């Protein structure tokens, strides 16, 4: 079992920055894919960023160059540094974890179906 607890959300003006943290428990966590998804009111949930156990990352096009995902394996914590925030980044942000996808090798995809563990979410609100 893996438990995820997010923190760091809040309200910020357009152009500002926030850093989300996700503290995890569970002995298999270090080998899992970890990531962040978000869901805005009235919109579908979307993947934001994913990181694998070796530190390789993938990002949604909408956040490339602005957001950075990182991890501290010693602390079992994943971070999402969000810079140059825009009103359209306003959403509930969820920390996720799950085993890597296998297709001739193991991969971490920005795909909701790959993540069986979800945090409770933390709200990010960006005002114009």
Q: Which of 80, 58, 116 is nearest to 6 (CA)?
A: 80
- C-alpha 102/C-alpha 114 separation (Å) is 10
**Residue 102 burial (10 A CB sphere; 0-12, 13-18, 19+):** exposed
Mean pLDDT over 118-124 rounds to 96
Mean pLDDT over 70-97 rounds to 95
Mean pLDDT over 74-96 rounds to 96
Q: Which of 57, 125, 43 is nearest to 90 (CA)?
A: 125
The tens digit of pLDDT for each residue in 5-15 reads 999 999 999 99
Residue owning tokens 């970890």: 34
Residue owning tokens 């297709």: 103
């Amino acid at each position: 079992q893996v438990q995820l607890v997010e923190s760091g959300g809040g309200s910020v003006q357009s152009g500002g920055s926030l850093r989300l943290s996700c503290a995890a428990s569970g002995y298999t966590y270090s080998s899992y894919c970890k990531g962040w998804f978000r869901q805005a009111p009235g919109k579908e949930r979307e993947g934001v960023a994913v990181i694998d156990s070796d530190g390789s990352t993938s990002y949604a096009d909408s956040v490339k160059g602005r957001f950075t995902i990182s991890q501290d394996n010693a602390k079992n914590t994943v971070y999402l540094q969000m810079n140059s925030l825009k009103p359209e980044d306003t959403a509930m942000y969820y920390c996720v974890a799950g085993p890597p996808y296998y297709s001739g090798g193991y991969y971490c995809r920005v795909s909701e179906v790959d993540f069986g563990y979800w945090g409770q979410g933390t709200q990010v609100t960006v005002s114009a």
